Amino acid sequence: MDLIAQGISHRFDRLEVLDDVSFTVAAGEVVAIVGPSGCGKSTLLSILGGLLQPSAGQALLRGAPPPGCLNPLTFVFQDFALLPWASVAENVAFPLLHTSLSVAQRTAVVDDVLQRTGLSDFRAVYPKQLSGGMRQRVGLARALAVRPAILLMDEPLSALDSQTRELLMEDFVDLLADGTLGAVYVTHNLEEAVRLADRIVVLSRRPGRIRKIVNVASPRHSRGDAATRAQLLELQNELWVLIRDEAIDAEREVQHA
């Protein structure tokens, strides 16, 4: 199933936020969205996920959903957004509550995603007992429970320390390995973008317009290797050169706001 952003523009009252943004996320593809602060990345994600109606243009899904899909698009948030009073298994089961699945089917889905995210031993634990990295694993497991075509991820690792981020990136690469799951990955972190994405959409300063779409050619599973990391660092620097001046302007604007 493909997700298509078609000429998306958006304004909040007089504030023009996005201008004519178009790109396609093909089935199984990871597209990162990067750009200066306030350029409209989260707004674009909300529009893609149907939470917000754009002022112009549209977000479309094309093609058949994956087998067993209950919701083709599902969000993963920076702050994990877990239910504090519910256990790990209950959090993961939450999006399945109002579906047609039987209790046995729900249990099977929960068992499967807990196993895929390394959480099987933590099913009865509550979020406050978990580290930030484990909480985000629960956020990811909950998103996977609806067997989505595409994850919509808004800075999913930015609340985590660098070692935990590295480990979760490795986990995420494994989850993507069979090529059935796609993602739109909003991030400030260019290292995450080059490690995880097939393509990187670089937005301009607000109103966000597409400045460039960059392909990341190396296979995702080899991007943690020393030799590939060196190439990725070059790409990361190229992206930073593209964004730097506008990032400084955006930063100054925020300070003056």
Ligand X SMILES: Nc1ncnc2c1ncn2[C@@H]1O[C@H](COP(=O)(O)OP(=O)(O)OP(=O)(O)O)[C@@H](O)[C@H]1O
Question: Which chain residues interact with ligand X by CB under 6 A?
Answer: 12, 15, 17, 37-43, 188, 206
Residue number with CB closer to ligand X (147 or 205): 205
Residue 163 DSSP one-character state: H
Least distance (Å) between residue 194 CB and ligand X:
18
Residue by residue, DSSP assigns 186-228 as E-S-HHHHHHH-SEEEEE-SSSB-EEEEEE--S-GGGTTSHHH
Rounded to whole angstroms, how far apart are CA atoms 161 and 170? 14
* Distances 78 to 2, 35, 106, 160 between C-alpha atoms, Å: 24, 17, 26, 9
Least distance (Å) between residue 37 CB and ligand X:
4
CB count within 10 Å of CB 90 equals 17
Residue number with CB closer to ligand X (11 or 199): 11
* Distances 50 to 53, 205, 215 between C-alpha atoms, Å: 7, 23, 26
Q: Which of 131, 203, 200 is nearest to 168 (CA)?
A: 131
Give me the phi and psi of 54, to 5 degrees please.
-70, 155
Cis peptide before 156 (omega within 30 of 0): no
Residue number with CB closer to ligand X (28 or 38): 38
Least distance (Å) between residue 212 CB and ligand X:
16
Residue number with CB closer to ligand X (26 or 159): 159
Q: What residues have CB less than 8 Å from 30, skipping those under 6 apart?
A: 176, 182, 183, 184, 185, 196, 197, 198, 199, 220
Least distance (Å) between residue 36 CB and ligand X:
7
Start-to-end CA distance of the chain, whole Å, equals 41
Least distance (Å) between residue 47 CB and ligand X:
10
Residue number with CB closer to ligand X (17 or 194): 17
Least distance (Å) between residue 138 CB and ligand X:
23
Residue number with CB closer to ligand X (188 or 199): 188
Least distance (Å) between residue 190 CB and ligand X:
13
Rounded to whole angstroms, how far apart are CA atoms 109 and 67? 13
Residue number with CB closer to ligand X (42 or 180): 42
